[in-house]
Amino acid sequence: MTLPAVVQGRLSLPVIGSPMFIVSGPELVIAQCKAGIVGSFPALNARPAEVLEQWLQRITTELDDYRAKNPDKPVAPFAVNQIVHQSNDRLQHDVEMCVKYKVPIVITSLRAPNEVVDAIHSYGGIVLHDVINIRHAKKALEAGVDGLILVCAGAGGHAGTLSPFALVSEVRQFFKGPIALSGSISHGSQVLAAQAMGADFAYMGTRFIATQEANAASGYKQMLIDSAAGDIVYSSLFTGVHGNYLKKSITAAGMDPDNLPEADKSTMSFGSGGTSKSKAWRDIWGAGQGVGLIQDSPSVADLVARLKREYDAAKAELLGVGQGRAAAE
């Protein structure tokens, strides 16, 4: 285990709640951190740009107050996701806000974050970069990131196609630092499995969309509850980057989920208005293949407590099996 100092002693479970378009806001992030897992949100969810400072003020103040009143509870740090892309005209502003509020963890996406790392390191923050293959991982490490988020097959939103068994194993051959693993993780036993494969954290998004604090439409949450792995489609049409989405939401938008065209990556656009197609696809709902285990929409606190029970039970079962084998030998 290679846990960064910023999270040591501050987690109830080795989980990072992934930043999700529209869905992740202050309510979800604060609830996740209070429950003892890292909460995160995309900077571009705060619109217009001035709203980002309001969110950072609220999150830091509420977590500081809660931590002071509950010294015996693990209160996790929070993270802000920055899209490192040439068309993100907010990047400099948003990074400056992270520096001003000393955001503990910055999650970077799409391109190696050369222009971000030094700024975040200037106050002691850490940078985690999400990658889908070895080439991206090595580029991120060359840029000086502190850890990697391996986005594997089955993850919600922008996802890769590699098996977590393959990607974690190959990355561990050249990187010994913090790794978070993403891809169809919806149960506490799967958090333990991620660690067994060599990751330090599970990176969970879809399971937290179906919670009370998530900024998701009720229809979105119900569709997650009603769906299974076979209801997920992998397409680049909606953002220019391949990702996983709920077939039923694509059908509801009047398209055939089994016959979608490929997107033109040159049309990708990020910035003060978000993606160029954000209005058109805000009702195309992202989800990972782990939806089959989602059967309700609890509070974040209740969900994390459940994940912890599942995690502990899986750990105890494995320990019991190990002890049984040792006795038999």
| Interstrand relation of 157-158 and 147-151 (parallel, antiparallel or unpaired) | unpaired
Which run of H or of E encompasses 149?
strand 147-151
**28-81 pLDDT, tens per residue?**
999 999 999 999 999 999 999 999 999 999 999 999 999 999 999 999 999 999
- Dihedral of CA atoms 156, 161, 163, 169 in degrees, nearest 10, equals -110
Domain CATH number, residue 169 = 3.20.20.70
Cβ-based neighbour number of residue 179 at 10 Å:
25
Whether 122 is in a domain gets the answer yes
Q: Are 179 and 201 in contact, with CB atoms under 8 Å apart? A: yes
For 144, the token pair is 């000086």
Please tell me the predicted confidence (pLDDT) of residue 325: 61
Whether 301 is in a domain gets the answer yes
Helices (H), 211-299: 218-226, 247-252, 278-281
Whether the model clears a pTM of 0.75, i.e. scores above it, the answer is yes
Contacts of 265 (CB under 8 A, 6+ apart): 236, 240, 241
Which run of H or of E encompasses 99?
helix 91-100
Please give the tally of structural domains in the chain.
Answer: 1
Whether 284 is in a domain gets the answer no
DSSP string across 42-84: EGGGSSSTHHHHHHHHHHHHHHHHHHHH-TTS----EEEEEE-
Q: Are 51 and 25 in contact, with CB atoms under 8 Å apart? A: no
The residues of the chain scoring below 50 in pLDDT are 272-276
DSSP code of 164? H
The boundaries of the domain holding residue 172 are: 15-218+289-328
